[in-house]
Copies of this chain bind each other. A is one copy, B any other.
Amino acid sequence: MGSLNEIAVAAGINISSALGFLLAFAILRIQPINDRVYFPKWYLKGTRSSPRHIGAGFSKFVNADFSTYLRFLNWMPAALQMPEPELIEHAGLDAAVYVRIYLLGLKIFVPIALLAFIVLVPVNWSSGTLEHEKDLNYDEIDKLSISNLGKGSKRFWIHIGMAYVFTFWTFYVLFHEYKVITTMRLRFLANQSRRPDQFTVLVRNVPPDPDETVSEHVEHFFAVNHRDHYLSHQIVYNANALAGLVEKKKGLKNWLVYYENQHAHNPAKKPTMKTGLWGLWGRKVDAIEYYKAEIEELCKQEDVERQKVMSDPNAIMPAAFVSFKSQWGAAVCAQTQQTSNPTVWLTEWAPEPRDVYWPNLAIPFVELSVRRLIISVALFFLTFFFMIPIAFVQSLANLDEIERLLPFLKPIIERNSLKSVIQGFLPGIALKIFLILLPMFLMTMSKMEGHISISGLDRRTASTYFMFLFVNVFLGSVITGTAFQQLDTFIHQPANKIPETVGESIPMKATFFITYVMVDGWAGIAAEVLRLKPLVMFHIKNTFLVRTEQDRQQAMDPGSLDFGTTEPRIQLYFLLGLVYAVVTPILLPFIIVFFSLAYLVFRHQIINVYNQQYESGALFWPDVQTRLIAALIVSQILLLGLLSTQEAEKSTVALLPLPVLTIWFHYVCKGRFEPAYVKFPLQEAMVKDTLQRANDPTMSLREYLKDAYVHPVFQKDDMYELVAMDEEEKNPTVATKRQSRMNTPAESKFNSSVGTSEGEFSRMHPA
């Protein structure tokens, strides 16, 4: 229960912080020294190798061209400028579809908000029940909400009608969006040039054979059962130990180069170091000699380990990447069952080579199910017992309660400004700190569950994280806040009065969630574009730590869209929007502002910053849709619960068909679109096979696929060969190399015509 005044203060704080972040960003981004923080994507693509505004001396670091400061908000239209097909080519389908989630929010909520303000707000406002009951403690904002109607009002029918209208509108938008994205996915897959994963199937749980090695067994099995289509296969080695050695050697080589550079700059002084922990104590030795010896030692170990892995039958995992002569053959193998025992010879589409999560490839069937059980139970406890600390913080939001319980604090709290600050900031921030730590745990748990691709890990993390947010942020905020007030009655209520109890508290929590949207949404998104942490880290690293070109590459650290963390948070906004659309429509504009701002910012980020780790072809969309449907059902059930406490029981029966219809809609969409994300149609495969055979009849597919699915540590070492850094960006081949490794198209329309985001500037401002 906040007043309009409190909201205004909170809005003021958050808007100014958001504007502050945006302003800082607008200024920082045009400084040449920050160029690698705000435009790393272009460096990685190889289209930019040094800042554009570069001058001599001082202006090498600071932008002295003051005319650019006048156009400091230009990044906003620039972010919208790039057409979607180019965006897909530039950033990948995953990223392009990801920003469409924000757009989807606008598509759903802008019409709903308009309708709600035209119909529901006047109805609520004119009811005036709250005004008549003088003993009630209410706020101006409650007069705009459903609470103003009073028990048993006939006007609830209007809200029920609106619930139907909103639901059907959401259906329409969701169906349309699913259709568009499915089409985009299919077109994307069809337009892709030849990729190894199109011809390759991952086989797991190869059964042991007493007479044959895994490799022979795989070859014989597929040569028999896919006689006309089998081409070759690649065995999977358990190279986790070897990967550790390689990683260690990389670090040592880096140090070596650093000391060699030091020595080159200052040939008089031999660089020395201490061998103890972090070079702080221990014997002093010649650094260059020391590292050379260490590396040599490690090389030997590595060779031994490599030999061991290659020769030891126990190091061969019962899994393989099997390649086929045609996409048709691969599509058939991936979709069918191979033997009568469905726990062996499990086939599925191979993930992209860079998307494979190698350590999980060898988990046997039974162990997988045990792991799933354990992780599910662990997730349950994590989700439900993490609530206790949040409950405490949440209770702070209710200042009136604190005053009642701790009256001596009253004079401090009653100071108007302080009260607003506490109420506007504290709950949101406390939640944020909890939530920042969480995704790491969830990702670790997903890894333990045994998913075999990084994209799969991300998707799994997203769904567990959403469960967590739903229970702890949404339900936790709604129930705990009220629980403080009605603790006595609440404990003795049965568990499934929850829809009613939650529904009843929903209108009271509107102010809290408006604040939450502003803190987490507005200010959070503005902070996202500023990239404060990468900015600081880059400069720290650049100043103190960057020793080699590779270090600088790493210091640049564009990061990637963290689907597992960000998507569930968007879903929370969808949930809030859908729940409050009928109850307290005043919340909707805040969410719309969030979606618009986020759309702008993330579009900018994927164009200029993020570098995707993998490309799954929007494989996450069915999950997004499922969570949206879940949010819709939750909103309907809570509205039902709310109305059934308002002595409108009979009219609430009219709401019962809504969840049924929604579940039905879910299955319709699932049946209609989901196969496009799970299976690969044979017709498409046949068309692509025919085209590719016609275009490139002499192509040796076997040669092409030979090393595609070799474990990274066995791939050619020169990828990790280091390039000594003398001066910034002398060696453009680094970018080119990385480019080929990242598998982004070499020449896109966009690259050739526009080139860089500076190019956008000039296109928009021809003068």
Contacts and interface: CB of A to CB of B under 8 A. Distances in A.
A475 interface: no
A237 to B, nearest CB: 26
Contacts of A679: 336-337, 342
A530 B684 CA distance: 60
Given A224-B686, A225-B683, A336 B339 contact: no
Interface stretch (A447-455, A489-497, A540-548, A755-763): A489-497
Interface in A672-686: 672-676, 679-684, 686
Contacts of A340: 186, 676, 681, 683-684
Nearest to A497: B494
A720 interface: no
A671 B342 contact: yes
A172 to B, nearest CB: 15
A660 B664 CA distance: 27
A701 B81 CA distance: 61
Interface residues of A, number: 48
Nearest to A374: B664
Task: Give the one of A221, A342, A365, A673 with max B CB within 10 A.
Answer: A342
Task: Give the one of A186, A227, A337, A494 with max B CB within 10 A.
Answer: A337
A224 B227 CA distance: 19
Given A369-B668, A369-B671, A675-B342, A336 B494 contact: no
A274 interface: no
A445 to B, nearest CB: 16
B225 A660 contact: no
A336 B226 contact: no
Contacts of A671: 342-343, 365, 369
A336 B674 CA distance: 14
Contacts of A686: 224-225, 227
A501 B683 CA distance: 57
A684 B600 CA distance: 55
Give the number of copies in the complex. 2
Contacts of A660: 373, 376-377
A39 to B, nearest CB: 37
A339 B369 contact: no
A226 B685 CA distance: 11
Contacts of A493: 494
B332 A336 contact: yes
A224 B680 CA distance: 17
Interface string A645-685: 00000000000000011001001100111111001111110
Contact of A338 (B224, B336, B661, B682): B682
Interface in A361-413: 365-366, 369, 372-373, 376-377
A680 B365 CA distance: 20
A195 B315 CA distance: 46
A336 B334 CA distance: 9
A335 interface: yes
Task: Give the one of A186, A493, A494, A680 with max B CB within 10 A.
Answer: A494
A725 to B, nearest CB: 48
A271 B332 CA distance: 67
A140 interface: no
A325 to B, nearest CB: 12
Contacts of A673: 342
A228 B225 contact: no
Given A224-B686, A225-B682, A365-B671, A336 B336 contact: yes
Interface of A: 186, 221, 224-228, 331-332, 335-340, 342-343, 345, 365-366, 369, 372-373, 376-377, 493-497, 660-661, 664, 667-668, 671-676, 679-684, 686
A-B complex: 5 closest residue pairs judged by Cβ atoms: A496-B496, A342-B675, A337-B679, A494-B494, A373-B664
19 contacts: A224-B686, A331-B336, A336-B682, A337-B679, A338-B683, A340-B676, A342-B672, A342-B674, A342-B676, A342-B679, A342-B681, A365-B672, A369-B667, A369-B671, A372-B664, A372-B667, A373-B661, A373-B664, A495-B496
